[in-house]
């Protein structure tokens, strides 16, 4: 009986199974330190911004979420946006809405507008034009020109309100005065420059 061949087989099998048995090498010490690194809320947000600019969306989400978990409204908005678009995470409208609500509670007008859009579109919630208008109005009251345009469109198309071209034009003019180019185009198309 030749034991050399089975011993070599056992050795090869042992080499393959060692990592699965928890005997794999530890990650380099610098990786361990980086994952446990404590940074300020602002630093976490800045790192999220940098990662997003570099299109490293998973890393951006990691840092935005670190800041968002500590109450940073802009980071909460960005986490919501990443969930909305499925960037760096699986698309999840309900989770996006949860983060937008956190930012909205702090008065973030873009988050208020985004919640309105979710109700208008039925993303993660039942479509509800009344709720959409309510959220758009909250954002518009804070000067959000996109919400002003959204309100104008709802009046123009009679979505949850009686169609009213004059009211739509009034809202388009507010948004255009705030610099919204799409509203300027809409006014031109409506002959109401």
Distance (Å, whole) CA 187 – CA 156: 11
Compute the distance between CA of residue 135 and CA of residue 114 in angstroms, rounded to an integer.
8
The C-alpha atoms of residue 63 and residue 49 are separated, in whole angstroms, by 8
Query: Which domains does the chain show, CATH number per domain?
Result: 40-106 (1.25.40.10), 109-193 (1.25.40.10)
- Alpha helix locations (H) across 91-158? 93-105, 109-121, 129-141, 145-157
Residue 2 has what pLDDT? 41
d(CA 131, CA 119): 6
Residue 39: CB atoms within 10 Å: 13
**pTM for this structure?**
0.78
| List of residues 6+ apart from 83 with CB closer than 8 A | 89, 91, 92, 93, 95, 96, 99
Question: Which tens digit of pLDDT belongs to each residue from 91-146?
Answer: 999 999 999 999 999 999 999 999 999 999 999 999 999 999 999 999 999 999 99
Element (H, E) at 17: helix 4-17
Query: What residues in the chain have per-residue pLDDT under 50?
Result: 1-36
What is the predicted pLDDT for the residue at 169?
97
| Residue 71 neighbours by CB under 8 Å, 6+ apart | 41, 106
């Amino acid at each position: 009986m030749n034991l050399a061949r089975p011993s070599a087989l056992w050795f090869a099998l042992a080499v393959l199974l060692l990592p699965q048995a928890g005997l794999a090498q530890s990650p380099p010490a610098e990786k361990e330190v980086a994952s446990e690194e404590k940074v300020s809320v602002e630093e976490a947000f800045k790192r999220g911004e940098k990662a997003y600019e570099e299109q490293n969306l998973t890393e951006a989400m990691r840092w935005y979420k670190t800041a968002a978990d500590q109450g940073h409204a802009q980071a909460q908005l960005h986490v919501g946006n990443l969930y909305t678009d499925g960037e760096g995470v699986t698309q999840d409208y309900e989770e996006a809405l949860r983060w937008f609500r956190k930012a909205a509670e702090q008065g973030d007008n873009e988050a208020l507008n985004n919640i309105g859009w979710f109700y208008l579109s039925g993303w993660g919630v039942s479509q509800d034009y009344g709720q959409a208008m309510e959220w758009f109005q909250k954002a518009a009251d804070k000067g959000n020109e996109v919400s002003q345009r959204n309100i104008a469109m709802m009046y123009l198309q009679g979505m949850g309100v009686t169609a009213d071209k004059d009211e739509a034009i009034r809202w388009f003019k507010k948004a255009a005065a705030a610099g919204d180019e799409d509203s300027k185009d809409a006014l031109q198309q409506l002959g109401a420059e």
